[in-house]
Each structure stands twice: as structure tokens, then as C-alpha cells.
């Protein structure tokens, strides 16, 4: 694609900037980079502002609430959102289950779920990983057994992000234990208020309640809540993961984080050190290469071609860059990068500079990025098979 932005693109950029200046107040800046600093209400309020503007789901088809933007407009929107330090729209809704519902759901399911998913009247969470079934997702054990017009679901999910906020969960469940693992899985939509569901928090190394365990004890789920055909859930899961992996790259957010590192380095007089400057320069070069790959993927999307192996490339390189940024932030913080800085507080006599308070927490939390959405090792296998034919 042509990487030069047209006059029309630049006019669109000005429109986005004006909207963000009005809709995202100055006092909200910084919240998006610190998950302990915002609430469920913060997130929903911003999601609904984008929904009211018609900008919450740029990649969706127009008939379901999408924008019909060009690839360059989508990229500009993401870029300016990152510069303004806003939240991204809830990914479980927009980048994950929404596309599955409009692609594979029946008309009744589309009418029931798409609009509240778009508007965030339903907050979704993802029920994929289980104890012992993460990278090897096809080995999942959560069972769904038919009982009249319902399934009875028993089992558990783990690392369920923000399940404490969720209204519904989209789940992979085993509906046939006697066939090849991938062939016996179904895709269910489950109301989190259903009797028999228990959510237990997992506190991360950074001290956040971001992920959870979810237990299902004889949970009754209507068969009408199954997406597509029984035992074909693996197909829908792979479709969802390709969308998730493409969105994980986070190029605009990484660019913003590198700029923040450079600002901190100037304040700490590190910008005069050749070793530090080389690390930053290498990050910027690698991020530029990733940016061009993402733009190619967007162009393919606009041409109606699937992401394919490019989604895995974006996931690998994007998450590696994110981790390198958090590692460099830890280096800058030095001895002040204590895991307990949050507990000490900014006014403690032991507290260092303000940028050090979150450095360790973000570093620890960032270790997960190369694992979720399919581990980077698995992504390399996908690339080897799809591109090299191995």
C-alpha cells in the first residue's frame, strides 16, 4: 500500500484530534497506562463515548456498526488514541467475540448480542485457558453435556482477564470427548449471573487484580447460546485468535511508551550515554519495521484477505518490543524499581522518582504478553507451517 498519507487522511487526523481533545479530558491522562488507576465505570464511559461517535469498532462491517474507514484511517485513529493516552475499546467485545458473532452467529444471536456488545451494555470476558490447557488449548477439559434444551457445564477456566467486571463469558467447552481433541469443542456464550459460576481473583506479581479463575459447577446454558455448529468451536476459536493476535501488536502504544522513556532519560541525564541510546535506537528501528508489517496487514484486510501468518508475526514482534520497553524502564529506575514502590507511596522517604513507582509492576505484568493469545513459540510454529511449509 501507499504509505504516504493523503490530504483526506490528514483532514481525518485533525477530526480525530479535535474529538479526543473534547471527549478525553486532561485529568484522565495516565489512567490508560495504569490499570489500578481506573474503574469499570471509567472504561464503560469511554467506550460509550466512542460508540456514540460511531467510532468504537472501525474494523467491523458497516451493517453491524463499523466505520468503513480506509486502512490508513484506521491506523491514524489508533495512532492518535495512543498519543492522547486513552483506553482502547474493550477488546473482548470489539476484537474478539463481536467478530465471531457477526461471522458465525445466527440472526437471532446477532439481534440479541451485537448491539449491546458494540455499546458495552454487555462486558464480555474470555473463557479459553484452563489449568493444564493454555498453549495446548485443544486439550481443554471443561465439559458441556446436553440435557434437553440446555448444556450442563462443569470445569474451570484460568487467567480470565477482568472476569470480575464481566456480564457474560464466551467459552470453549468439550462437547464430544470421544473424537480428535480439536473436533469435539463447542463455542458457548454464558451469562455470568447463572447459578453455579464462581469467580476467584488471581493477584499478579505487580499487585493487580487483573486476572481470575472461573469455576463452573452444573451451570445450565441454553443450546441457543451456542455459536455455530456443535463440535465446530475450534474453527471459531482460531478465527477469534487471529483477530486478537493482530490487535496485540500495539504499535502506536509502543511508540508512545518509547517517547516517554526518552523524556525520562533526558530528566535523568541518560540521553548522553551511548549504551542507552543504542538500546532506544534499536527499539525504534524494530518498531518501524513492525509498523510497516501492520500497515501491510491492514491493506490485506481492506482487500478482503485474511491476516494469516502476518497475525502471528505481529503478535511475536509486538509483544517482544513491549517487553523490551518495560525492561528498559526498569533499567532507568535502577535501585528504585522495587516491587513494593506502590505500597510505599510517592511520599515515602524510600520512594524514588515518580516514573519508578510503576516500573516493576509493569515489567512483571508485561511478562505475560508473549504468552497470551497463543505463546510466541506456538506462533513461530504457525509461521513455519504457513510460510515455510514445514
Cα-based distances in Å from 121 to 55, 124, 214, 273, 365: 16, 10, 21, 50, 28
Q: Which CATH class name applies to 122-232?
A: mainly beta
**One pLDDT digit (tens) per residue for the chain, 390 residues:** 445 688 999 999 999 999 999 998 776 766 665 555 578 888 899 999 999 999 999 989 999 999 989 888 988 998 899 888 888 899 999 999 999 999 999 999 999 999 999 999 999 999 999 998 877 888 999 999 999 999 999 999 999 999 999 999 999 999 999 999 899 999 999 999 999 999 999 988 777 888 999 999 999 999 999 999 999 999 999 888 766 656 677 888 899 899 989 999 888 888 888 988 999 999 999 999 998 888 777 777 666 666 667 778 888 999 999 999 999 999 898 877 766 555 555 555 456 777 877 788 888 888 888 887 778 887 888 788 877 776
b/e map of 202-215 (b: 16 or more CB within 10 Å)? eebebbbebbbbbb
At residue 304, the pLDDT reads 66
Confidence at residue 99, expressed as pLDDT on a 0 to 100 scale: 95
CA-to-CA dists, residue 293 to 81, 226, 268, 349, 381, angstroms: 20, 35, 34, 46, 19
pLDDT given for residue 343 in this prediction: 59
Task: Identify the CATH homologous superfamily for domain 249-387.
Answer: Butyryl-CoA Dehydrogenase, subunit A, domain 3 (1.20.140.10)
- Residue 83 and residue 29: Cα distance in Å, rounded? 10
Domain ranges of the chain: 7-89, 122-232, 249-387
State the Cα–Cα distance between residues 182 and 233, nearest whole angstrom: 8
The 10 Å Cβ neighbour count of residue 232 is 18
Cα–Cα distances in angstroms (integers) from residue 317 to residues 246, 306, 320, 365, 389, in the given order? 11, 19, 5, 17, 21
Phi, psi for residue 219 in degrees, rounded to 5: -85, 125
Amino acid at each position: 500500500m501507499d504509505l504516504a498519507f493523503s490530504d483526506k487522511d490528514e483532514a481525518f487526523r485533525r477530526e480525530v484530534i479535535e474529538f479526543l481533545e473534547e471527549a478525553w479530558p486532561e485529568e484522565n491522562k495516565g489512567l490508560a497506562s495504569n490499570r489500578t488507576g481506573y474503574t469499570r465505570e471509567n472504561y464503560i464511559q469511554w467506550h460509550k463515548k466512542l460508540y456514540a461517535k460511531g467510532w468504537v469498532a472501525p474494523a467491523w462491517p458497516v451493517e453491524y456498526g463499523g466505520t468503513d474507514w480506509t486502512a490508513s484511517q484506521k491506523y491514524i485513529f489508533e495512532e492518535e488514541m495512543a498519543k492522547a493516552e486513552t483506553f482502547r475499546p474493550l477488546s473482548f467485545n470489539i476484537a474478539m467475540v463481536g467478530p465471531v458473532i457477526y461471522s458465525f452467529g445466527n440472526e437471532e444471536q446477532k439481534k440479541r448480542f451485537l448491539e449491546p456488545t458494540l455499546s458495552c451494555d454487555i462486558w464480555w470476558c474470555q473463557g479459553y485457558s484452563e489449568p493444564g490447557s493454555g498453549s495446548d488449548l485443544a486439550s481443554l477439559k471443561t465439559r458441556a453435556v446436553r440435557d434437553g434444551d440446555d448444556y450442563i457445564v462443569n470445569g474451570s477456566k484460568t487467567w480470565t482477564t477482568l472476569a470480575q467486571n464481566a456480564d457474560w463469558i464466551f467459552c470453549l467447552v468439550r462437547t464430544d470427548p470421544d473424537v480428535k481433541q480439536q473436533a469435539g469443542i463447542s463455542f458457548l456464550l454464558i451469562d455470568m449471573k447463572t447459578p453455579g459460576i464462581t469467580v476467584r481473583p488471581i493477584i499478579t506479581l505487580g499487585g493487580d487484580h487483573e486476572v481470575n479463575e472461573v469455576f463452573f459447577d452444573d451451570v445450565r446454558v441454553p443450546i441457543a447460546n451456542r455459536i455455530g455448529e456443535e463440535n465446530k468451536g475450534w474453527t471459531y476459536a482460531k478465527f477469534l485468535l487471529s483477530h486478537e493476535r493482530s490487535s496485540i501488536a500495539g504499535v502506536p502504544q509502543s511508540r508512545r511508551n518509547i517517547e516517554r522513556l526518552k523524556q525520562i532519560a533526558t530528566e535523568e541525564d541518560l540521553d548522553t550515554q551511548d549504551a542507552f541510546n543504542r538500546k532506544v535506537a534499536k527499539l525504534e528501528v524494530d518498531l518501524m519495521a513492525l509498523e510497516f508489517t501492520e500497515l501491510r496487514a491492514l491493506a490485506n484486510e481492506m482487500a478482503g484477505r485474511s491476516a494469516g501468518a502476518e497475525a502471528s508475526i505481529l503478535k511475536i514482534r509486538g509483544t517482544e518490543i513491549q517487553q523490551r520497553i518495560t525492561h528498559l524502564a526498569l533499567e532507568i529506575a535502577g535501585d528504585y524499581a522495587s516491587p513494593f514502590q506502590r505500597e510505599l507511596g510517592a511520599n515515602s522517604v524510600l520512594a524514588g522518582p515518580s516514573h519508578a513507582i510503576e516500573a516493576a509492576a509493569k515489567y512483571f505484568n508485561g511478562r505475560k504478553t508473549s504468552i497470551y493469545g497463543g505463546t510466541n513459540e506456538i506462533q513461530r510454529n504457525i509461521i513455519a507451517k504457513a510460510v515455510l511449509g514445514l
